């Protein structure tokens, strides 16, 4: 009995001693992990800042210093500079870079650019925190984007006098925009002359179109999220296929609806980013910039500011005259002559 007791006691003692050692070792590993995480966190913050500096200010070498050898060989300073410049020319510098998710050594970012387009940027890091891979793509998906069934803000039409609805309404045959989720519910408006056309007889330039140069006004009290008016107007009948909405004002309503007024005239935009505008206030003039075949206003409401990732929605106007008759909460459709 006595021997057994001692053996059990020794066993317990051994476990106890071993237990202490094991505990210390675990504590040490944990401390190392915490230190490692802290270092990685500092490196990540440094990487974010360096990427922004490289992209926005051309500080490429500082950014490349964070790459591992292989990555540095694959991406010369010149090559990186060229790629960044090419992207920046299209969508502008980075406004904000936020970490979206982190899966082990892979870090995915939401990179929002000046022209309201978001890119997905993924960095893969080595154990030592060096960049072993970088992927930049335009397929960023907003998981947190709200669904917008229609507008709740009470809107007036964004112009004075009578305009004509060339594309508009819920039927795709009335409104080609509906075939693209990003432009669902959008309108193309122009002004019809007494001749039943959008332009004077023998039109040769933008000025011959009745809509060109007309005042575009704010449909509701809102905040200017983005405005741009540096694209030259197309020389009708030529078209600029690369610039999309061309010169544009993007408004945010109090209900977080994002109103797009596109194809505005070059150098005509009168409002600045961050400015609050009143319903009826002049935003700019109707033009023929971007993907536009003739002077007109492209008007739509979307669920988020991002032009590439947003979804369009049905746009109802509070109280307007449609072909002379008063209509409430109305969606103009192709062929409607409308005015406030
Ligand atoms: Zn359009």
Structurally, how many domains does the chain consist of?
2
pTM, rounded to two decimals: 0.85
Q: Which residues pair with 67 in a beta bridge?
A: 131
Residue 63 is predicted with a pLDDT of 97
Residue 184 in domain: yes
Percent of the chain with pLDDT over 70: 92
Residue 175 main-chain phi, psi, to 5 deg: -155, 95
Residue 32 is predicted with a pLDDT of 79
Residue 244 is predicted with a pLDDT of 82
Distance 303 CA to ligand 1 centre (A): 17
For the segment 248-254, the average pLDDT, to the nearest whole number, is: 98
Higher pLDDT, 332 or 15: 332
Residue 158 in domain: no
20: left (phi over 0), alpha (psi -120 to 50) or beta: alpha
Distance 297 CA to ligand 1 centre (A): 7
Distance CA 189, CA 173 (A): 16
Check pLDDT > 80 for residue 52.
yes
Q: How many CB atoms lie within 10 A of CB 38?
A: 10
Is 180 found in the same domain as 53?
no
Residue 151 in domain: no
Residue 26 in domain: no
Domain end marker among 96, 119, 137: 137
CATH number of the domain at 127, please. 3.10.450
Confidence at 15, pLDDT banded by 50, 70, 90: very low
Closest CA to 305 of 225, 228, 220: 225
Is 129 found in the same domain as 200?
no
Is 223 found in the same domain as 298?
yes
Residue 41 is predicted with a pLDDT of 86
Give the environment of ion ligand 1: residues with CB less than 5 A.
188, 298
Residue 104, token pair as written in the block: 């082990």
Is 234 found in the same domain as 105?
no
Is 321 found in the same domain as 231?
yes
Q: What is the DSSP string of 108-124?
A: EEEEEETTS-EEEEEEE
Per-residue pLDDT of 258-301, as tens digits, reads 999 999 999 999 999 999 999 999 999 999 999 999 999 999 99
Residue 296 in domain: yes
Distance 275 CA to ligand 1 centre (A): 25
- Convert 259-295 to b/e letters by CB count within 10 Å (16 or more is b): bbbbbbbbebbbbeeeeebeeeeebbbbbbbbbbebb
CB 254 within 8 A of CB 187: no
Check pLDDT > 90 for residue 241.
no
Instruction: For residue 335, give its domain range.
Output: 163-339
């Amino acid at each position: 009995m006595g021997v057994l007791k001692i053996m059990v006691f020794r066993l317990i003692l051994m476990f106890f001693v071993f237990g202490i050692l094991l505990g210390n070792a675990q504590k040490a590993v944990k401390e190392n992990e915490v230190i490692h995480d802290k270092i990685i966190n500092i490196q990540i913050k440094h990487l974010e800042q360096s990427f922004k500096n490289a992209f926005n200010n051309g500080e490429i070498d500082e950014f490349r210093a964070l790459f591992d050898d292989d990555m540095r060989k694959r991406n010369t300073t010149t090559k990186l500079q060229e790629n960044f410049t090419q992207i920046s020319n299209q969508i502008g510098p980075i406004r904000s870079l936020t970490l979206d998710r982190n899966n082990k050594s892979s870090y995915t970012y939401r990179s929002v650019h000046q022209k309201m387009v978001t890119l997905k940027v993924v960095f893969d890091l080595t154990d030592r925190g060096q960049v072993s891979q970088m992927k930049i793509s335009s397929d960023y998906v907003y998981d947190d984007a709200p669904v917008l069934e229609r507008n709740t803000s009470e809107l007036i039409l964004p112009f004075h006098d009578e305009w004509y609805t060339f594309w508009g309404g819920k039927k795709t045959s009335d409104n080609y925009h509906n075939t693209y989720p990003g432009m669902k519910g959008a309108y193309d408006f122009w002004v019809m002359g007494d001749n039943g056309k959008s332009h004077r007889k023998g039109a040769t330039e933008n000025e011959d179109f009745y809509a060109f140069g007309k005042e575009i006004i704010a449909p509701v009290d809102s905040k200017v999220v983005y405005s741009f008016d540096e694209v030259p107007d197309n020389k009708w009948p030529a078209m600029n296929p690369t610039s999309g909405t061309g010169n544009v004002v993007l408004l945010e309503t109090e209900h977080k609806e994002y109103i797009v007024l596109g194809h505005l005239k070059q150098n005509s935009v009168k409002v600045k980013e961050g400015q609050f505008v009143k319903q009826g206030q002049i935003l700019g003039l109707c033009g023929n910039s971007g993907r536009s075949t003739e002077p007109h206003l492209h008007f739509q409401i979307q669920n988020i500011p991002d032009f590439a990732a947003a979804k369009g929605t049905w746009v109802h106007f509070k109280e307007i005259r449609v072909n002379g008759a008063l209509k409430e909460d109305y969606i103009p459709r192709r062929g409607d002559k409308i005015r406030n």
